[in-house]
Structure 1
Amino acid sequence: MPVDLKTLYPKLIHLMLDTVFVVDSDNQIVFVSDACEALLGYRADELTGTLITHYMHPDDLPATRASIIRVMNGQPHFDFRNRYIRKDGGVVNILWAAFWSDEVGARIGVARNVTALTRAEDELRFLAHHDPLTKLTNRSVFNDRLESALHSARRHNTKVALLFLDINDFKLINDVHGHAAGDRVLCAIARRLERCVRDTDTVARMGGDEFTMLLSDIASEEAVAEKVAQILAIMAEPLGDEFDGLDMPSCSIGVACYPADGEDADTLLSHADSEMYQVKRRRSAAG
């Protein structure tokens, strides 16, 4: 017996894990497959006859409308991404393949949920630029920003300060309380250092218990000294009760200013690092 394909096609469409939409020229949903409930939380009968634009994330409307115009002008769009608002208020990331059908008089689109993929991509992008533990800027990005800041300072005849911070006796925390406790302390330090910078500044973890801070367009060396004093004061604040009696470690800070202490990144980093170790040695000698 021959297979009746016309009868089979609708059944196949409703079996698809991706959602099929048929939308007319006025953005009204004419047909939607059953997979819409998993995608948006609405049954097919709840969506049919409503405007598809009603469910689009408002921040994505301009780009989505541009894609709609493209498709209606006869240019299929097979790699468009946007966000929709689910019935429960959640946000879903969707990858679309859509084209206009003159025969049907509507655009036909297939929507795939790529929320998990989008989150994974965002996480990879974040990890490429940030330290995975503290979420601070990482060494590579910090070095790029330092080069950019120096380039700008040369052009505009401004000053830049570089601070190199080392946490004193941090190894004792790991040895006595364990690495998990040490990691929590490093995260607490990161949050405190973030409180000390402007939006135009950068604080980074260089590795281990070493941090750097880039202060762009500084007014004077006195302003840098005030910043160091602020950091030391914030670092001296006790840790909360959730740290089970752990004391907040102190830090040693070395400073290098452009152009007084060097005119390139390597020289400034070396100067700040050297000064930091001098501070640490004076601290050790003082007992």
Structure 2
Amino acid sequence: MPSPSLASLSDYIDQLLEAICVVDAHGHFLYLSSGCERIFGYKSTEMVGRPMIELVHPEDRERTLLAASEIMAGDQKIDFENRYIRKDGQIAYIQWSARWSEDQNVRVAVARDITKHKQLLEQLQHIAFYDPLTQLPNRALFDDRLQQSLARARREQGMLALCFVDLDKFKQVNDLYGHAAGDLYLQTVAERLLYSVRETDTVARLGGDEFVIVMDAVTDRSAVLSALQNLLTELQQPFLFEQHSLQLSASIGIALFPQHGQDHSSLLAAADRAMYKAKQAGGNQLCTATDLPHRVGKNYG
């Protein structure tokens, strides 16, 4: 039960959109304003006496307990964020301000539900970093992923492969069948690229009919060539557009770190030059930054 002093304030506190929570030294709820029901879905009577940590998202419990111990040691927390599991099973993103009351031996906190703000932020981040047509990472996210992969490869003295993929005769598909066919073409290619690589690899669309693949932590060149030859075979499978069977193919340039480039720009340029060699040789094939094209199947030019 709340103390008389807390109860006397409840009529005023319950009008707040934020929730007021009081937790004892053992981490159990002593008092909650009605705002808690709006945020967590539980009535205050369902929460009083329960350990606070039970409602915290499992992934956030360790750092939440650390923050609680720091508050009890006298460190006031402002704008601490974590996630809670609501009564309906949904995740609520909460922003806290909390301090320790030494005279009453309790932790007093104000909770604000920032779930909608977080969801909006995630939507904006997706718009900023993903291609809207294929849902692949865009140029900005690709640049970041490649920089991270290069840093990891340098640190671990490893190797990575950067593959530049340019579609053959994409303009003809657009001209003959319209942009709807072109869009389906790009979406189909994106799906096949993702299907043909590891989950740890990055597939991105740079724009138009240009894609790139960052193959992280590769062991040798032959493994890269084998995977990409399988990719070319997968890309050759036709797809249907309004009862038309359309043929796919691509020219792929490959550059390896550290052999063909030491940084983002030089590696991408090497892969781009190799891709153009493959395209000039007829398309539908691979070319490494230093080798002749490796032909696979029929040429489409």
- TM-score, with structure 1 as normaliser: 0.80
Provide the rounded CA distance (Å) in 2 between the counterparts of 1:178 and 1:103. Answer: 74
- Equivalents in 2 of 1:154, 1:48: separation in Å? 53
**Structure-2 separation of matches of 1:148 and 1:44:** 46
Q: Distance in 2 between matches of 1:10 and 1:262?
A: 66
Is 2:275 the counterpart of 1:276? yes
Provide the residue aligned with 1:256 in structure 2. 255
Structure 1 residue 221: Cα displacement: 4.2
Whole-angstrom CA distance in 2 between matches of 1:107 and 1:154: 47
C-alpha deviations, 1:32-55, integer Å up to 9, x for none?
111222111112222223222221
Q: Which residue of 1 aligns with 2:31?
A: 31
Query: Aligned partner of 1:250: which letter?
Result: S
Specify the alignment match of 2:63 in structure 1.
63
Report if aligned partners of 1:237, 1:248 keep a CA contact under 8 Å in 2: yes
Aligned-residue CA RMSD in angstroms? 3.4
Question: What residue in structure 1 maps to residue 84 of structure 2?
Answer: 84
Cα shift at 1:266: 4.0
Aligned 8 A contact 2:168 2:300 in 1 = no
Partner Cα distance (1:107, 1:158) in 2: 49
Residue 239 (structure 2) pairs with residue 235 (structure 1): no
CA offset digits 1:100-134 (Å, max 9, x no partner):
22344322111111112122333444555443443
Q: TM-score, normalised by structure 2?
A: 0.77
Offset at residue 159 of structure 1 (A): 5.0
Q: CA 1:65–1:282 in structure 2 vs 1: closer, same or farther (change >3 Å)?
A: same
Q: Which runs of 5+ in 2 are unaligned?
A: 1-5, 284-298
User: Is the alpha carbon distance of 1:116 and 1:150 closer, same or farther for their aligned partners in structure 2, counting shifts above 3 Å?
Assistant: closer
- 1:182 positional shift: 3.6
Deviations, residues 119-158 of structure 1 (Å, cap 9, x unaligned): 2333444555443443333334434554565677678776
How many angstroms apart in 1 are the aligned matches of 2:35 and 2:76?
A: 22
CA distance in 2, matches of 1:15, 1:174: 59
Aligned partner of residue 232 in structure 2, secondary structure = helix
Change (3 A) 1:155 1:83: closer
Shift of 1:71: 1.7
Secondary structure of 2:116's aligned partner: helix
**C-alpha displacement of 1:176:** 5.4
Q: Which structure 2 residues correspond to residues 183-222 of structure 1 after superposition, within 5 A? A: 183-216=183-216, 218-222=218-222
* Structure 1 residues 56 and 272: alpha-carbon distance in aligned structure 2, compared to 1, 3 A threshold: closer
Amino acid at match of 1:80: F
C-alpha deviations, 1:152-197, integer Å up to 9, x for none?
7678776543321112232344455554554444233223212222
Separation in 2, partners of 1:139, 1:35: 43
Secondary structure (helix, strand or coil) at the match of 2:89 reads: coil
Q: Aligned pair in 2 of structure 1 residues 147, 94: CA closer, same or farther (>3 Å)?
A: closer
CA 71–250 in structure 1, closer or farther in 2 if over 3 Å, else same: same
Change (3 A) 1:273 1:50: closer
Does the 8 Å CA contact 2:237/2:248 hold for their aligned counterparts? no
Distance 1:152 1:86, change over 3 A: closer
Structure 1: give runs of 5+ residues left out of the alignment.
1-5
1:15 aligns to what SS in structure 2? coil
2:96 corresponds to 1:96: yes
Q: How much does 1:91 deviate?
A: 1.0
C-alpha separation between the residues in 1 aligned to 2:28 and 2:219?
59
Of 167-176 and 113-122, deviating more is 167-176
In structure 2, the partner of 1:107 is 107
Local SS of the residue matching 2:14: helix
Matched positions, count: 281
